[in-house]
Chain A
Amino acid sequence: MAKHYILFPNYSQGLKLEVLLKQNNIKYVISPTPRKLSTSCGISIMYNKKDEEVIKDIIDKNSVEIKGLFTIE
């Protein structure tokens, strides 16, 4: 099953988005960043595909810095 991740340039941006997701009642899971997506360790956020557009919107409106949204099959 495909899994969806958001990667960040540093952990504080990840935690910033976490707070916003919580406020908006969007389900997410904090996860170690899969090796396939990045060689540097640290957090990423796993999300459900159905929430993707809402999440993108939150990221834009609140100027959260991200490295991108990724999917692993």
Chain B
Amino acid sequence: MGDYKKMWQDLNMDIEKHDILCEALPEQFGDIYLTQENRPEAMNYFNYVVAEIHGARIMELEKYKKEGGKVVGTFCVFVPDEVILATKAIGVGLCSGSQFWIEDGEKILPRNICPLVKAFTGAKIGLTCPYFQSCDMIVGETTCDAKKKAWEIMDEYIPVHVMELPQMKREKNIKQWEDEIRIFINRMEELTGNKVTIESLKKGIDICNGKRKALKRMYDLRKNTPSPISGLDALLVSQVAFSDDPERFIEKTEELCDELEERVKELKPNGKKRIMVTGTPMALPNWKLHSIVEGLNAEIVVEETCTGTRYFENEVSTEGDTIDELVRNMAERYMDINCACFTPNEGRVEDIIKYVDEYNVDGVIYYNLSFCHTYAIEYEKIAKALKEEDIPLLKIETDYSEEDTGQIKTRVEAFLEMI
């Protein structure tokens, strides 16, 4: 394990500062995850990914790069991983879920923007994230103003390719997104020197659909009362989906689901309140809300977030004999995601109501990262729709700090008593 230091040095990391991060993780993970009782045995693989997140996985990336491969970093469910795979590159979702990086982020960004954007910027400029240091390029998108402007700053440190995501869902917007995907294909071809072919793109689509199927299978199992897996563990699976090798992830998640299927046969109702979390994404290692809620008499059974249903719902069709047709299929699937960046975004309201029923939810927690305006504003519409359906709702607006943990706990406790 000692040889990681040499690797991190070669990656030009700030070893001393990074060491502070490494110091915190085992304890945090131990306290939140390893104290859970009766965890599925298949979670060991996900423990492994976390334990080796700055070690073994980075070694794999470095090995791949030595063989001439390319690594690109992404931040959003709109970036089409299919294209990355089709050019034989490795795509990694970058960590941006820790308070640790905020201080460095605030050195060059305003304080009043969302913690996720401040964290990823801090992780790069503070030289404390080996993924950033391994990336040949970052793929950004225009899903929010903070990110849109942060890419310009990021581009001074590492090459950035920005995809312009349309903000409406008319036919012309879907066509615009098709065009963005084609531009992205060209950029990835230039970066890797590998041409996208019908076969390579279909293979990329198959792998991404495989990931979606595996996650969907796990979520379907959570519909059981009680859920055979904690919300904390399910969140970890979703987070790992962004960073680990996709084929290994599919294999291990299917193994987990096999085990969960067996568990479902034995489980008896436990009286815990069933909670849906909806709102902004929870990037690794943001486990804050889940650990508060599941520390009380409740289980989180579904996340309508980018680290939840938005990531895996709907597959990309592989029907078609030309690249253009496949690009169209991808554009249709991605433009079907109900992110709050769209106007209007009625689909999200419908999704939430549908999931309340499908997952037999007792109450909904609206999770909003501080200063994420689109989601904060959309709250009103969601609140109105849920009130009409008589579904209890609690809004939690927070960042990554621990300062408000006690307060959130009190509010969630009161909410659970009420429902």
Please list the residues of chain A having a beta carbon within 8 angstroms of any beta carbon in chain B.
8-11, 14-15, 18, 27-35, 38-44, 46
Complex contact A32–B30 (CB within 8 A)? yes
The minimal Cβ–Cβ distance linking B28 to chain A, given in whole angstroms, is 9
Complex contact A31–B26 (CB within 8 A)? yes
Bitwise, B5-39 to A at CB < 8 A (1) or not (0) is 10000000000000100110111011000100001
Question: Is B48 an interface residue, CB under 8 A from the partner?
Answer: yes
Complex contact B44–A32 (CB within 8 A)? no
Q: Of B5, B48, B54, which is in contact with the most chain A CB atoms at under 10 Å from its CB?
A: B48
Complex contact A43–B52 (CB within 8 A)? yes
Contact of A30 among B3, B22, B48 (CB under 8 A): B48
The minimal Cβ–Cβ distance linking A2 to chain B, given in whole angstroms, is 14
Give chain B residues whose Cβ lies under 8 Å from the Cβ of A11: 1, 48, 52, 55-56
Kindly state the interface size class of chain B when it binds its partner: 20 to 34
Complex contact A41–B44 (CB within 8 A)? no
Report how far A49 CA is from B23 CA in the complex, Å. 26
Report how far A3 CA is from B19 CA in the complex, Å. 24
Complex contact A30–B5 (CB within 8 A)? no
Complex contact B52–A34 (CB within 8 A)? no
Give chain B residues whose Cβ lies under 8 Å from the Cβ of A32: 25-26, 29-30, 47, 50-51
Report how far A46 CA is from B19 CA in the complex, Å. 23
Complex contact A35–B27 (CB within 8 A)? yes
Contact of A40 among B2, B25, B39, B47 (CB under 8 A): B2
Complex contact B47–A30 (CB within 8 A)? yes
With A11-B52, A41-B54 in contact, do A35 and B26 touch (Cβ < 8 Å)?
A: yes
Complex contact A31–B27 (CB within 8 A)? no
Complex contact A41–B27 (CB within 8 A)? no
Complex contact A42–B47 (CB within 8 A)? no
Give chain B residues whose Cβ lies under 8 Å from the Cβ of A14: 48
Give chain B residues whose Cβ lies under 8 Å from the Cβ of A44: 51
Q: Of A30, A33, A34, A35, which is in contact with the most chain B CB atoms at under 10 Å from its CB?
A: A30
Report how far A34 CA is from B30 CA in the complex, Å. 9
